[in-house]
Amino acid sequence: MPAQIRMARKTGITLSKSVTMILIAIYVIQSAAVVYLLLDRAQLQKSLIEKDTKITDLERENDKLREKLKIFKIIEDFQSGFTPQEKDIIADAIYTQSKQLGYDPLLLMALILTESSLHKGQESYLGAQGLMQLLPSTGYWLSKKYKMPWKGNNSLFDPQYNIHMGSYYLLELILKFKDIKKALAAYNMGEYALKGRLKLKQGIPKKYVGAIMKKYQMLKEKYPDSLFG
């Protein structure tokens, strides 16, 4: 019951029916106004949350584009023999695998530059193939473990496939040796050869790992984030 009517009854004031109806109408309007303000406030809060979410999504997308632009710029500067479409594919593969497996993309780039100098169709005298210089036997084993189709010994000359396999292989070695430098050394000389050196307390070969770290530092200095917005 409206406060005005209760007050009228307590004081003994008799209200006409029309006045009573007016007081009830005022009460209803006041209540509706309070409900409206509460709903409006809730809608405003919802709109602010949605706006913040959109801003966060845009910032995340901007960071992604900036990082992919950096990778693409490095590929442009160092690659040899790849078509524009292949360069796009390589950039996307490096970005995707780095995010999925927790690598710094520049470290993966440094490994690729050390292994193949980003040249198309590279094959070592031992038979290692592609950008990340994997042996077909290693690629075949990885394809079975990670359920990726194997299309014969030339599969590793596909840049995207090669990067996927190479990044998975590096992950395998990191999990086994619990150390990125040991994993990089094993990537170059083989898991069992490195284990033999470590067992004899000879340590890891410094030349290969040092070459990767030098390229990694060079990439960080030459391609800082400030260059890309």
CATH code assigned at 160: 1.10.530.10
Residue 43 confidence (pLDDT): 72
Residue 8 confidence (pLDDT): 45
Residue 192 lies in a domain: yes
What is the count of structural domains for the chain? 1
Its pTM stands at 0.75
Residue 21 confidence (pLDDT): 66
Residue 187 lies in a domain: yes
Residue 32 lies in a domain: no
Residue 15 lies in a domain: no
Residue 83 confidence (pLDDT): 94
Residue 33 lies in a domain: no
Range of the domain at 214: 43-228
Residue 19 confidence (pLDDT): 58
Give me the tens of pLDDT residue by residue for the chain, a chain 229 residues long: 555 445 445 444 454 666 566 656 666 676 666 666 666 676 767 666 665 666 666 666 777 888 889 999 999 999 999 999 999 999 999 999 999 999 999 999 999 999 999 999 999 999 999 999 999 999 999 999 999 999 888 999 999 999 999 999 999 999 999 999 999 999 999 999 999 999 998 989 889 999 999 999 999 999 988 776 6
Residue 132 lies in a domain: yes
The full 3-state SS of the chain, as one line of letters, equals CCHHHHHHHHCCCCCCHHHHHHHHHHHHHHHHHHHHHHHHHHHHHHHHHHHHHHHHHHHHHHHHHHHHHHHHHHHHHHCECCCHHHHHHHHHHHHHHHHHHCCCHHHHHHHHHHHHCCECCCECCCCCECCCCECHHHHHHHHHHCCCCCCCCCHHHCHHHHHHHHHHHHHHHHHHHCCHHHHHHHHHHCHHHHHHHHHCCCCCCHHHHHHHHHHHHHHHHHCCHHHHC
Residue 14 lies in a domain: no
Residue 174 lies in a domain: yes
